[in-house]
Amino acid sequence: MATTRTAGRARPAYFPRLAAERLDIALCRASAAVARAAETHAAEEGLGVGQHLVLQMLDAVGPCSQQALSEELRIDRSVMVSVCDDLERAGHVRRERNPYDRRSYAVTITDSGRRRLSEAQASIPGFLDEVFRSLTPEDRDQLSALLGKLLGAGA
């Protein structure tokens, strides 16, 4: 069992036991750790996590409203405006009036955005290998399947 030093004496670490008893707490902590690592990696790459996700979705499904991007990617609407503003300033997306709803805009990925997405995607496998280095490939497959079930159940 892991130990922690407090006031000069060793005592058993409590969090491993808590995590074993409370799967929700363990999942929240693991999620926060992975999110911090993703943000650090994104900062090093110069493309934020939200920006990356928006470019990836636009590349996969085509033009979308900011509302659709916000709902599908689960990014707050006010944050989505900022993400799209930054991507537009960089020339990675353009906003045009939505031909089906003149009150909204369709966000479209540009060639520059596709190139930037491709560059960012190239670093993802190495990042994932580093973040999940303590898991075997089989563990990662199982984790992916289990998270898929959890997320599917809550969708």
Per-residue pLDDT, averaged over 118-144, amounts to: 94
Q: Quote the percentage of the chain above a pLDDT of 70.
A: 91
Regarding predicted confidence, which is higher, 153 or 89? 89
At 73 the pLDDT is 95
Per-residue pLDDT, averaged over 48-73, amounts to: 95
pTM of the model: 0.78
At 34 the pLDDT is 94
Is 99's pLDDT higher than 90? Answer: no
At 104 the pLDDT is 79
Could you give all domains of the chain from N- to C-terminal order, each with its CATH number?
Answer: 48-132 (1.10.10.10)
DSSP collapsed to 3 states, the chain: CCEEEECCEEEECCHHHHHHHCHHHHHHHHHHHHHHHHHHHHHHHCCCHHHHHHHHHHHHHCCEEHHHHHHHHCCCHHHHHHHHHHHHHCCCEEEEEECCEEEEEEEEECHHHHHHHHHHHHHHHHHHHHHCCCCCHHHHHHHHHHHHHHHHHHC
Per-residue pLDDT, averaged over 108-113, amounts to: 97
